[in-house]
Amino acid sequence: MLAQRNLARERYLYDQKVSARVDLERAQAEAAVANAEMRRAEVAAGAAKVTRDGRGVVVSSPIAGRVTSENVVLGAFVQPEAELFRVADPSKIQIEAAVSAGDAQRLAPGDRAIVELPDGRTIEATVRAVTPGLAGDTRAATAVIDVAGALQPGLAVRVRLRPSRGDTGTAIVVPEDAIQTLDGRDIVFVRTRQGFRAQAVTVGRRSAGRIEVVDGLATGQQVATRAPSCSRPSSPKARARRNRP
């Protein structure tokens, strides 16, 4: 270690009455600081499971899983706090869902959730926790959800939550694309035997790409998920359903 070599040299020079005592004391202080830094690094390396095998440094992951990203180049110098690799265990993936302040108050640990995957499949899940505060930019809370199944880290999914608190809702829920605006009114296009017709509705809360319709629709009615075209009467449709928290 450089600090120890400097200390040994200054001690020799002081003993030979070549250098002043202040130079020896300065070298002693620098060596003490270097020793403290070395001990701190050894403790940090032990906590991070970094060891030496005689040929180099072995970095071990604290969890079992697969390497999903690599942020280091062989031979490069890195800082102690640098992230070298990112490891994920597909069987222990959690989902962080943004929920409104009102919905967050109705959620509790253990509530059921349905995760909708991009390919159309669904997975049962459970709410583990809800953040007590709201994000500064979105003003939304975060629901942390445990998934019973393997998911790819970073995958974008849609979550349907089943709150256990609050009153049971009776509003009908439709996809957000089903609500259109006509002459300043909210409408949906309801499917009839003659085709689609516009029907005024009263909307309520919005969440996760869905909107509550509190008045104007009946359970089971089919609505278009976008404004139907006269040349394409077979526009995609959705069936209105009751919102059951």
pTM confidence score: 0.43
Pairing of β 112-116 and β 222-224: unpaired
Pick from 10, 28, 8, 29: nearest CA to 20:
10
Answer yes or no: is pLDDT of 220 > 50: yes
Q: What does the block give as tokens for 73?
A: 């180049």
CA distance 91 to 147: 8
Q: How far is CA 83 from CA 56, 69, 150, in A?
A: 18, 10, 24
pLDDT digits (tens, 9 = 90+) for 164-216: 876 555 567 888 888 888 888 889 898 888 888 888 988 877 765 778 888 88
pLDDT of the residue at 182: 85
Question: Is the pLDDT reported for residue 29 higher than 80?
Answer: yes
User: Which tens digits make up the pLDDT trace of 33-75?
Assistant: 888 887 777 676 666 566 665 566 677 777 777 887 888 887 7
Q: Does residue 236 surpass a pLDDT of 70?
A: no
Rounded mean pLDDT of the chain? 77
Query: CA-CA distances (angstroms) from residue 2 to 7, 12, 82?
Result: 9, 15, 24
55: β partners:
none
Cβ atoms of 125 and 113 closer than 8 Å: yes
Query: Nearest 5°: phi and psi at 27?
Result: -65, -40
pLDDT for 115-128, tens place per residue?
888 888 888 889 99
Extract the runs of DSSP E, i.e. beta strands, from 140-200: 141-147, 158-162, 172-175, 180-182, 185-192, 195-200
Distance CA 27, CA 21 (A): 10
Give 55's DSSP letter.
S
| Selection from 98, 96, 97 nearest residue 139 by Cα | 98
Question: Which domains does the chain carry?
Answer: 1-57 (no CATH), 61-90 (no CATH), 93-162 (2.40.30.170), 172-242 (2.40.420.20)
